């Protein structure tokens, strides 16, 4: 008589077969035998929270120094995508922004964060007109536009030289404004922005995100470390201001 052999039963699904030993190894049964281990999932409350939109608006009109704004955008997005809470944010970029385009963008996106990248002067943030020429927008006008077109905005980032006047005008409309108190190099602006978003994507406070950006400038040996400032609305503590997650405030 042929010798009897004992085989593990096989589970059949369509045309494929998996024996129980393989199935057990694939399921990664935990040590208590309570069933397969599962990856952590967001709480029901977190799953229902709409992502915070970041509106990255950039302008580099004719006749102004050429900035590497595309690199700033790309590096900021990259750092955000590498963070564990990247799904907290939706990143939207707009280029060659005019005053009308800025207002259309804010109406459409109703962003939590507005990031301006470009030039500023004593006359204001330099947007573009319909011909691509410089079209400065005053601090008062910038604050009013945010007030009426983006009432949900909590954080404004003005990543350009001499943006402090705009920050002072806007601080009454949003929780916090990050701006530069003087000149900042193109490389410094990119480094600062990338590290700031890296921190926000880890659910750090706005104050900590700014501090991490400054630390990156120090590590690079750049003189820009004294330039970034964080201004807040009255009654807001930037150390407690977290944009996303269970501890948001």
Crossing angle of the two packed helices 206-219 and 186-200, in degrees rounded to 10: 140
Query: Is 190 within 8 Å of 68 (Cβ atoms)?
Result: yes
Q: What is the mean pLDDT of residues 14-26?
A: 44
The structure tokens listed for 152 are: 């949900």
H runs (alpha helix) in the chain:
20-27, 44-48, 69-81, 99-109, 139-149, 164-170, 186-200, 206-219
The structure tokens listed for 25 are: 């190894």
Note the residue count of the chain.
Answer: 249
- In this model, does residue 28 exceed pLDDT 70? no
Query: Is 157 within 8 Å of 193 (Cβ atoms)?
Result: yes
Determine the Cα–Cα distance for residues 124 and 139; give it in Å rounded to an integer: 6
> What are the extents of the domains in the chain?
49-232
Q: Given pLDDT bands bounded at 50, 70 and 90, which one contains residue 12? A: very low
| Residue with the larger pLDDT of the pair 223 and 112 | 112
Q: Given pLDDT bands bounded at 50, 70 and 90, which one contains residue 32? A: very low
Residue 247 is predicted with a pLDDT of 62
Q: For residue 86, what is the enclosing H or E element?
A: none
- The predicted-structure confidence for 172-227, as pLDDT tens digits, reads as follows 999 999 999 999 999 999 999 999 999 999 999 999 999 999 999 999 999 899 99
Chain centre distance of CA 138: 25
The structure tokens listed for 173 are: 């409309």
Q: What is the mean pLDDT of residues 164-176?
A: 95
Residue 52 is predicted with a pLDDT of 97
Q: Which CATH number fits domain 49-232: 2.60.120.10, 2.40.40.20, 3.10.129.10, 3.40.50.1460?
A: 3.40.50.1460
Does the CA dihedral 218-222-225-226 come out positive or negative?
A: positive
pTM above 0.85, yes or no: no
- The predicted-structure confidence for 139-162, as pLDDT tens digits, reads as follows 999 999 999 999 999 999 999 998
Determine the Cα–Cα distance for residues 191 and 132; give it in Å rounded to an integer: 27
Cα angle 52, 109, 157 (rounded to 5 degrees) comes to 65
| Residue with the larger pLDDT of the pair 188 and 13 | 188
- The predicted-structure confidence for 57-102, as pLDDT tens digits, reads as follows 999 999 999 999 999 999 999 999 999 999 999 999 999 999 999 9
Residue 246 is predicted with a pLDDT of 84
């Amino acid at each position: 008589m042929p010798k009897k052999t004992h085989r593990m039963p096989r589970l059949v699904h369509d045309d494929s077969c998996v024996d129980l030993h393989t199935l057990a190894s694939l399921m990664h049964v935990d040590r208590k035998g309570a069933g397969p281990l599962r990856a952590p999932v967001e709480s029901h409350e977190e799953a229902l929270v709409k992502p915070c939109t970041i509106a990255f608006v950039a302008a580099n009109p004719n006749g102004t120094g050429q900035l590497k704004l595309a690199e700033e955008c790309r590096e900021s997005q990259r750092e955000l995508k590498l963070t564990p809470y990247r799904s907290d944010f939706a990143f939207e970029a707009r280029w060659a922004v005019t005053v009308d385009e800025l207002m259309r963008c804010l109406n459409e996106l109703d962003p939590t964060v507005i990031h301006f990248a470009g030039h500023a002067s004593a006359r204001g943030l330099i947007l573009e007109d319909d011909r691509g020429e410089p079209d400065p927008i005053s601090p008062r006008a910038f604050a009013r536009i945010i007030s009426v077109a983006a009432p949900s905005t909590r954080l404004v980032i003005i990543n350009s030289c001499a943006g402090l006047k705009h920050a002072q005008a806007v601080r009454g409309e949003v929780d916090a404004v990050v701006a530069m108190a003087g000149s900042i190099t193109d490389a410094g602006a990119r480094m600062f922005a990338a590290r700031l978003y890296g921190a926000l994507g880890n659910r750090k406070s706005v104050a900590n995100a700014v501090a991490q950006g400054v630390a990156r400038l120090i590590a690079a040996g750049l003189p820009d470390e004294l330039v970034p400032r964080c201004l807040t609305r009255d009654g807001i503590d930037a150390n407690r201001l977290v944009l996303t997650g269970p501890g948001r405030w």
